[in-house]
Amino acid sequence: MNMTNIPQKMTERVRAIIIDTDRILLIHRVKVDDSYWVIPGGAVESSETHEQSLKRECLEELGVDIVMHNLFLQRPCDKPEISGHQEFFYLCDVVGGQIGTGEGPEFQAGTHYKGEYRIEWVSLKDLPKINLKPEEVKNKIVEQTILVKINRSIVEAAS
């Protein structure tokens, strides 16, 4: 899909937080002058629900089928070019497909996308050290990971 096919009035974006035990699935964006990680996802098209959009985006970007669970965080987008848009971050699980087989526009020649898109599993313990955007989401994931570990320790100590 090229940019002319994308409606101009998209105001919602969805993202899939995919955690497998002690790692999270991210897209490493490598540009000439910048390197950072993002959570997979994208714009909700006018005829889609959040779930439909997230499933489409994960298939396009990652090559996987997902099941969407709880809303983790809703926040305003902070990129100037999409000011006024809202981002919805959902907890998701991979239920099929093969990571790395996505064929979305990010992977096609001749689109407006610049740089590299590398799909990577990142250890949750390394999350504080990487440039994951947006930082608010990274901080909440790190905080939740710490809470889960504390809860596990309490349960194990009580056993």
User: Residue 84: which pLDDT band, with cuts at 50, 70 and 90?
Assistant: confident
Query: Domains (ranges, CATH) in the chain?
Result: 3-158 (3.90.79.10)
Alpha-carbon distance values, 89 to 30, 94, 136 (Å)? 22, 15, 11
pTM for this structure?
A: 0.84
The secondary structure of the chain in percent helix, strand, coil, rounded to multiples of 5, reads 35, 40, 30
Quote the pLDDT of residue 113. Answer: 64
Sign of the Cα torsion 40, 88, 125, 156 reads negative
pLDDT, residue 5, reads 47
**Does the structure show a pLDDT above 90 at 109?**
no
> What is the C-alpha to C-alpha distance for residues 54 and 50, in angstroms, rounded to an integer?
6
pLDDT at 56: 96
Question: For residue 132, what pLDDT is reported?
Answer: 97
Percent of the chain with pLDDT over 70: 88
pLDDT averaged over the chain?
A: 87
- Assess whether pLDDT exceeds 80 at residue 23: yes
Residue 62 has pLDDT above 50, yes or no: yes
Tell me what pLDDT residue 91 has: 96
Question: Does pLDDT of 146 surpass 90?
Answer: no
Q: In whole angstroms, what is the distance from residue 103 CA to residue 108 CA?
A: 7
